[in-house]
């Protein structure tokens, strides 16, 4: 579903009132963005009857809840999740990523970058900041998919946004060969319990494996 054609309905889960108030003011000042729910826990935000498209989620809440549990709860409600954190605890970022968060943005970022991250996430783009990539790259629980050199080359280009035709032209191979490589890449990731069903998933795996550099 394309959620960009109308106002983006945003939830904020954070137990610091000043952060909630400041972020709400920033977001509501921009056309097409509307904070419709805010709370100190995920349960409080989910209790709001208004539909929500995306939640900015603090990963270290005072209620002791785990990032993965919070992300799972929001994703079950068909709500996209963007980690909203100070970024000093990579383990929490990894837990959120494994549970399905689409990326992260620091609370200290400039307002325009927070806005851009939200718009990208709602459009289905992974918000791959340097902090996000560094946390995933250092994940000791990631199992290698054992991609070949050519498969890695194809994945790096395709996951970064190139079409199959463009990848074929750049690597001097056929489009069918590109698609065969992508199928094998998906199969290899699935075999090590790192599914990559969509292009966004492939982008996430490419970042995790250091094949694609996140945007600055």
Three-state DSSP at 166 gives helix
Q: What is the pLDDT of residues 29-41, one digit of tens each?
A: 999 999 999 999 9
Domain ranges of the chain: 8-137, 149-208
Q: What is the pLDDT of residues 152-189, one digit of tens each?
A: 999 999 988 899 999 999 999 999 999 999 999 999 88
> pLDDT band at 3, cuts 50/70/90?
very low
- Contact present, 130 and 161 (Cβ < 8 Å): no
Annotation: CATH topology of 149-208: Arc Repressor Mutant, subunit A (1.10.10)
| Radius of gyration, alpha carbons of the chain | 18
Q: Choose which CATH entry (1.20.1630.10, 3.40.50.1220, 2.60.40.1120, 3.40.50.2300) describes domain 8-137.
A: 3.40.50.2300
What value does the mean pLDDT of the chain take? 88
> pLDDT band at 2, cuts 50/70/90?
very low
Task: Say how far apart CA 212 and CA 133 lie, in whole Å.
Answer: 9
Task: Say how far apart CA 95 and CA 89 lie, in whole Å.
Answer: 10
Q: Is 90 exceeded by the pLDDT of residue 140?
A: no
Q: Which residue would you say has higher pLDDT here, 88 or 124? A: 124
Give me the percent of the chain exceeding a pLDDT of 70: 93
**DSSP H helical segments within the chain, as ranges?**
17-28, 42-46, 67-76, 90-99, 111-122, 130-137, 149-159, 164-171, 175-191, 199-208
Check: pTM over 0.75? Answer yes or no: no
Q: Is 50 exceeded by the pLDDT of residue 15?
A: yes
User: What's the confidence (pLDDT) of residue 215?
Assistant: 64
Q: How far is CA 41 from the centre of its chain?
A: 20
């Amino acid at each position: 579903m394309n959620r960009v054609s109308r106002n983006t309905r945003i939830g904020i889960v954070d137990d610091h009132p000043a952060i909630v108030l400041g972020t709400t003011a920033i977001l509501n000042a921009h056309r097409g963005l509307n904070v419709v729910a805010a709370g100190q826990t995920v349960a409080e935000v989910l209790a709001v009857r208004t539909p929500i498209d995306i939640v900015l989620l603090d990963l270290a809440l005072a209620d002791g809840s785990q990032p993965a549990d919070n992300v799972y709860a929001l994703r079950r409600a068909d709500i996209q999740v963007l980690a909203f954190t100070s970024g000093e605890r990579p383990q929490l970022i990894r837990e959120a990523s494994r549970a399905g968060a689409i990326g992260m943005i620091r609370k200290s970022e400039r307002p325009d970058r927070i806005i851009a991250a939200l718009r990208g996430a709602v459009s289905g783009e992974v918000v791959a900041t340097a902090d996000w990539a560094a946390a995933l790259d250092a994940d000791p629980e990631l199992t290698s998919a054992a991609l070949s050199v050519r498969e890695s080359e194809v994945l790096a280009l395709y996951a970064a946004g190139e079409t199959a035709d463009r990848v074929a032209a750049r690597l001097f191979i056929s489009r069918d060969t590109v698609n065969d490589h992508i199928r094998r890449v998906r199969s290899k990731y699935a075999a090590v319990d790192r599914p990559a069903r969509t292009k966004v998933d492939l982008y996430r795996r490419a970042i995790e494996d250091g094949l694609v550099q996140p945007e600055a």
